[in-house]
Amino acid sequence: MIVPVILAGGSGTRLWPLSRQSYPKQFLHLVDEKYTMLQLTLKRLENLSQKTLAPIVVCNEDHRFVVAEQLRQINIEQASIILEPCAKNTAPAITLAALRAQELYPEQNITLLILSADHYIADITSFQNSILLAESQAQLEKLVIFGVKPTEPNIGYGYIQLGEQIINKKIYKLDKFVEKPDIHTAEYYVSSQNYLWNSGMFMFQTQIFLQELKKYRINIYQNCLNAWQYKTKDLDFIRIGLNEFQQCPEDSIDYAIMEHTTQGVVVGLDVGWNDLGSWSSLWQSNQKDEQQNVIFGDVLTEQSQSNYIYASSRLVTVLGVENLIVVETKDAVLIAHQDKSQEIKSIVAQLKQQQRIELLQHKEVVRPWGKYDCIDVGERYQVKRITVNPKAKLSLQLHHHRAEHWVVVKGTAKVINGEKQYYVTENESTFIPLGTMHSLENPGCIPLELIEIQSGSYLSEDDIIRFKDQYGRA
């Protein structure tokens, strides 16, 4: 049986301003209006359901509630969600997943299918056939890497040099990995037809992976094992030992194992794969209009060709331009030439240096109970639009520096305000004095929407003391 392992820990800053550290690209609707990238990764395995078990998702601790909610939305209820307390690259992340699979299925010969949560694949049927082909090699105790047939001399990808052919131009021995090349080297790789792009997707048996890890990187195995022995269950999540995991070396599976093993094989993919690592790659992967523009949201174009235009909250118009990236969010706008889309890291570096909040989060912030959107901020006030999911509840808390006024615009709110408990319905309001213990709950079956007006000398999110929280937050 196959256990899908979804690596969902990336920060996705190459797609800023749409992708932010608190809500990176794997959780966004980038190529599909109905499903996010994480959800699409799991949905494309549905036809293999008779061969697959519940997935294991490895993610950043800060993203745990987003992952859980997006899995719930597509009716995946038995997934294991492992929280990485710090980023250590793919080798430790996969090791944690392997230890979990070994724990769940100690008597079974489990095959792990390692997938990134933010890749796009156009031809799902061919991809599923490639998975079955790779599984046949994994059962022969091979470590499989999926290599993508290049469509251009791309300098943004690592390459795999093919060794001896094993089966009908689909499976080869792994010769070696090659770092991201310059353009002339990339042109040679493509023309030689002996190199594939490194997709970052793998397949192997749990026991074979751990065996090779012990052989080549015993320090990674031992530190992950130590961290796993200190694991705890927190709601739907698995937390591992922080101190033990911090001591683990940071390394990719490519460097840790695949470059050294003698059991590596390559399964070739020609499935319309794209890692969506830049705005230009998003333009390539999305449906275009007659002028070769990719358009999302409220957009008007005139005499404009080959642009990627994304409007999230207002009308965006373009006139007489071509080959541009135009991305509008509620708090930031990006305008770039497609040829420069790989250099977004320079803008991100400036944002980081200036400690801009726009690098970290959107104006609309997701919480385990729902979300809030900052509408307006002044010197001593802040206005938010708050949405609380049905049956969800905010923590019992207080603030030392601000008071809050709540106006319900949709639904019914159950309020704890000091010693009092009462309901507030549509077009009604209530006031929470500074320093008063309070809580907000949606007892209904529809989303609760309210406007919150904060007033005080300090309005940042860290002015909060939680006394009781059903989501396990400190």
* Same-domain status, 165 and 16: yes
State which residues form the domain around 382: 364-468
Backbone angles phi, psi at 443, to 5 degrees: -85, -5
Question: Is residue 391 included in any domain, yes or no?
Answer: yes
Give every CB contact of residue 365 below 8 A, 6+ residues apart in sequence: 22, 371, 372, 373, 374
Calpha distance 220→96 (Å, rounded): 10
* Same-domain status, 104 and 180: yes
Q: What angle do CA 366, 274, 160 make, to 5 degrees?
A: 125
State which of 323, 352, 381 marks the end of a domain.
352
Helices of type H across 78-177: 90-104, 124-138
Percent of the chain surpassing pLDDT 70: 99
377 is written with which tokens?
A: 């901020």
Question: Is residue 435 included in any domain, yes or no?
Answer: yes
* Same-domain status, 141 and 159: yes
| Segment among 2-6, 99-103, 181-185 with least mean pLDDT | 181-185
Question: Is residue 298 included in any domain, yes or no?
Answer: yes
Task: Identify the CATH number of the domain in which residue 371 sits.
Answer: 2.60.120.10
Number of domains in the chain: 3
Q: What angle do CA 4, 10, 12 make, to 5 degrees?
A: 130
Q: What is the pLDDT of residues 340-372, one digit of tens each?
A: 988 899 999 999 999 998 998 888 888 999 999
Question: Is residue 432 included in any domain, yes or no?
Answer: yes
pLDDT of residue 72: 92
Q: What average pLDDT does the segment 317-338 reach? A: 96
Question: Is residue 473 included in any domain, yes or no?
Answer: no
| Segment among 119-123, 178-182, 302-306 with least mean pLDDT | 178-182
* Same-domain status, 259 and 308: no
Q: What is the mean pLDDT of the chain?
A: 93
Q: Name residue, tokens 């082909």.
A: 133
Write the DSSP string, 362-419: -SEEEETTEEEEEEEE-SSEEEEEEEE-TT-BPPEEE-SSEEEEEEEEES-EEEEETT
Q: Name residue, tokens 């269950």.
A: 233
Strand order in the sheet with 333-337: 294-296, 308-311, 324-328, 333-337
Query: If you count them, how many residues does the chain have?
Result: 474
Question: Is residue 358 included in any domain, yes or no?
Answer: no
Percent of the chain surpassing pLDDT 90: 80
243 is written with which tokens?
A: 């101190």
* Same-domain status, 268 and 144: yes
392 is written with which tokens?
A: 């969800």
Q: Where are the beta strands (DSSP E) in 235-380?
A: 237-239, 264-269, 273-274, 294-296, 299-302, 308-311, 316-319, 324-328, 333-337, 364-367, 370-377
| pTM for the whole structure | 0.89
pLDDT of residue 169: 67
Calpha distance 311→328 (Å, rounded): 5
Q: What average pLDDT does the segment 442-461 reach? A: 95
State which of 251, 274, 297 marks the end of a domain.
274
- The dihedral over CA atoms of 57, 62, 64, 66, expressed in degrees to the nearest 10, equals -110
Assign 410 a pLDDT band (cuts: 50, 70, 90): very high
Task: Identify the CATH number of the domain in which residue 7 sits.
Answer: 3.90.550.10
DSSP assigned state of 225? H
**pLDDT for residue 154 is more than 90:** no
Nearest to 190, CA basis, from 146, 155, 144, 145: 155
* Same-domain status, 55 and 144: yes
* Same-domain status, 332 and 268: no
Q: Which residue has the higher pLDDT, 168 or 79?
A: 79
pLDDT of residue 312: 92
**pLDDT for residue 222 is more than 90:** yes
* Same-domain status, 368 and 324: no
State which of 330, 352, 374 marks the end of a domain.
352
Question: Is residue 474 included in any domain, yes or no?
Answer: no
Question: Is residue 186 included in any domain, yes or no?
Answer: yes
* Same-domain status, 335 and 370: no
Q: What is the pLDDT of residues 173-184, one digit of tens each?
A: 999 888 888 899
**pLDDT for residue 473 is more than 80:** no
Q: What average pLDDT does the segment 71-93 reach? A: 94
* Same-domain status, 146 and 9: yes
* Same-domain status, 381 and 331: no
Q: What average pLDDT does the segment 252-281 reach? A: 92
Calpha distance 95→56 (Å, rounded): 12
Q: What average pLDDT does the segment 197-217 reach? A: 95
* Same-domain status, 27 and 52: yes
